[in-house]
Structure 1
Amino acid sequence: MKWRERIRDAYREHTRRHHPAFFEMSGGVKMKTKTWSDATANGLTKAIVDWITFAGGFASRINNYGKMRRVGGRMVWGKGTSVKGIADIMATMNGRALHVEVKIGRDRMSDAQRKVQAKVEASGGLYFVAKDMESFLAWWDEVFNQTTSAA
């Protein structure tokens, strides 16, 4: 099954379990769903966060950039408050910490990101560098022994 079919099925099952009246009023298994894309970093991030949520986990996108502020009459970027190199997605599934770094195209991990990855893995957390939804789901299936759809 292709990844878009898997996430659609997972969305429908999640909606059926958590919002049964809405599920039925929306056409049940024939309900229309939004579309997901892994062509951009934003699209892939959204698809991964949705997948983990539909599977029964908790996931959040981490915005780790600075803030524009006025200094001496001009606008400048200030430093962010998050840890340098923190992953794009932080999640929990079955009591396990998951950190997912999204990389599209030629984008590569920085030294700070590699250091964070080492710390996460040394502390027992899971870390994955996602380049597309297919590779993420292959990793997910391996880690969580789940080969059909999200719960």
Structure 2
Amino acid sequence: MNTTVDLHQLVQCMGDAIIVADAHEKIILWNPAATRIFGYSAAEALGQTLDLIVPERQRHQHNAGYSNSMKTGTTRYGASLLKVPALHKDGSTLSIAFTVGMLFDDHHQANGVVAVIRDETERFAQERALKKRIADLENPQA
């Protein structure tokens, strides 16, 4: 049995988006799931910055954190599951959950990040509706 993993095939077949950005936030890898979730083809996304999917109101904080991660070689998120808003090509807002990992060159200098992203928009809306329903049941209007 051949246990060699074809990494290209692995990235292409994943149901979650896999996005890799370089030290300057330029997108250098965008898999088919990223296209499905965000609406941009790989040709449209590659070479663009992550501002493509980061909502305007979060960009300053995102860019500052990204820059700091590139300088320090660390991320304050570690293996935590992050839940944030994101932008779709059509302008709509998505709710995404993702993990992020730091990438390093041969000299152990940070040179990018990889993010594995799942669209949680529908689940988040269902959760919000359920919380509202519970609140309405616990506090009935007389």
Q: What TM-score comes out, normalization by structure 2 length? A: 0.26
Which of the pair is proportionally richer in strand?
2
| TM-score normalised by L of structure 1 | 0.25
